Amino acid sequence: MGEPRIIEAEGITKVYRAGRNEVPALRGVDLIVAPGEMVAIMGASGSGKSTLMNIIGGLDAPTEGSYRLNGTRVDGLDRARMADIRNREIGFVFQGFNLLARTSALENVELPLLYDRSGRRRDTRRLAREALAQVGLADRADHGPSELSGGQQQRVAIARALITEPALILADEPTGNLDSRTSVEVLALFQELNDQGITILLVTHEADLARYARRLVALRDGLVVRDEAVPDRRRAAADLAAMPELQEAG
């Protein structure tokens, strides 16, 4: 089957039922993402981008269409198999960080490995430390989320997403709760990870952020209306250097 693909979605539709009405959220979306890509999915609220993200993330099933993730057919799987796919193939990064409260950064990062059924990774503590070091938070391992700034929390979440070495990092408005400088820092981290070959899907409604991706996919009314390479892609590291030094704000 030609070149390898991380995401291979064809004719994805999703219809929600609200009483007797049927509300289509996606009306036939095709999306193919190759390894190493960094794709921004853009769209206003109601465009269907959240629905698409849920389906790509294995949190929801499409009404119609076929979806393969890293070669595995995802549509039609039962809940338990979907959970395994999420665990193995996807690293989620959410807008609200979604770290477990009163749980140390290290334990938050370790968590996905505890649900790994393959038992491949035994030394979960060491791996969690390495992942934290990868996002520059080795010295914050024992801090709880409430002791970390927003940017640090999001980096812990990214470390948690990285620890299972997933095929895809799925970031849903990852900078929505962060100030502009911290947002650029997080994007610098994503670009750095992408440069190491990690595939990243960035869901956002901010056009500014989409310019840090390599490719832009725009949705409107449940359809893909634009799919193109990002012209003059911005480098977050360079933008950061140009920014005045500020104290990191939570």
Which chain residues interact with other proteins by CB under 8 A? 54, 57, 59-60, 79-80, 83-84, 86-88, 92, 94, 98-102, 111-112, 114-116, 160, 164
Strand runs (DSSP E) across the chain, as ranges?
7-18, 21-33, 38-42, 64-69, 72-73, 90-93, 168-172, 199-204, 215-220, 223-229
**Which CB, 97 or 212, lies closer to other proteins?**
97
**Which CB, 13 or 51, lies closer to other proteins?**
51
Task: Provide, rounded to whole angstroms, the least separation between the CB of residue 101 and other proteins.
Answer: 8
Strand runs (DSSP E) across 176-214, as ranges?
199-204
What is the full DSSP assignment across 217-239?
Answer: EEEETTEEEEEEEPTT---HHHH
**Which CB, 23 or 115, lies closer to other proteins?**
115
CB atoms within 10 A of CB 118: 8
**Which CB, 78 or 228, lies closer to other proteins?**
78
Task: Provide, rounded to whole angstroms, the least separation between the CB of residue 26 and other proteins.
Answer: 14
Task: Provide, rounded to whole angstroms, the least separation between the CB of residue 31 and other proteins.
Answer: 19
Task: Provide, rounded to whole angstroms, the least separation between the CB of residue 25 and other proteins.
Answer: 12
Continuous segment of H or E residues that includes residue 156: helix 150-162
**Local structure of 161: helix, strand or coil:** helix
